[in-house]
A and B are shown apart, each in its own frame.
Chain A
Amino acid sequence: MENRKVVVVPCSGIGKSLGTVGRVATYKVVERMRPEKTRTVCLALLTMGDNDALKLVRENPCIAVDGCPAQCSRKNIEASMGKLVHGIIVTEVLRKNRSLKPEGIIELNDQGDKLAEIIAKDLSKKADEILRKEK
């Protein structure tokens, strides 16, 4: 149990800024907020059935971070028989934060970054909770 990490898996959403919001939120968690408790994995690698990626999502709790209701991350984790314990959809978080107008795919604007920060804090708390329950 000691070495278990929560695997935060953002979608690869490249057509809309909300995909970038989910991706940036993930990096805030795995690189800055909870680097010792979380990590990420390439979603495409999982989609392609890479053995190491499959093992990772089957043996560790996973959080899907999806930009839109197509929920590519959630569906690909499920199709990989991964241990999905939580999922967020950026569009739903945006609905609760209507004053924010995220823009930009190559680089997010400040409001997009703020939305990513809100999601990242929520993901960090969720990761703590998941690991606490697993003890």
Chain B
Amino acid sequence: MTLATGKVGVICCSGEDLPEGTISRVATRLVLEKLRPEETVTLCLPLFLAGGEDERAFARVFPTIAVDGCSKKCAEAGTRRFSGKPVATIVVSEVMKKYPKLKAKSREKLNSEEMGLAMRVAEEIAEKVDEVLCKTNK
């Protein structure tokens, strides 16, 4: 059961080994800090395993959107396994196909082009947040 909290949980993979993982992380923070600060919360994905019942209840308290860097979809699978099924998943490598000129190469500090890509991903997350809240508020 999902409680009506008026907030959406955004869980990203943070994939440390891939530039797309950094994009997933930065995009998530852009949503939390700039695009939908009042409507979103997050949790470190590995905390589902390392944490206690409070952390594992996250997806039962909040509808969640998984943000994955690659097709392995660790954020979606991890959220589902340890907490609850996400209502939507956004995959950075899929979003990148829509913007073939935008490349992800850096894992540490994103350049302006990569920040542009992160913002495109963040906008897709924000759209999903609006859709989810629209449905839960009906």
Contact = CB atoms under 8 A, between A and B. Distances in A.
Interface residues of B, number: 34
Contact of A45 (B28, B50, B51, B72): B72
A26 B15 CA distance: 13
B42 A15 contact: yes
Given A27-B108, A47-B78, A40 B16 contact: yes
Interface stretch (B17-25, B89-97, B125-133): B17-25
B46 A73 contact: yes
A75 interface: yes
A73 B48 CA distance: 12
Given A10-B16, A106-B33, A47 B45 contact: yes
A48 B17 contact: no
B13 A31 contact: no
Interface in B43-80: 43-51, 69, 72, 74-75, 77-78
Nearest 4 CB-CB pairs, A to B?
A12-B14, A44-B74, A27-B108, A75-B50
Interface of B: 12-18, 21, 25-26, 28-30, 33, 42-51, 69, 72, 74-75, 77-78, 81, 107-109
Interface of A: 9-15, 19, 23-24, 26-28, 31, 40-45, 47-48, 50, 70-73, 75-76, 79, 105-107
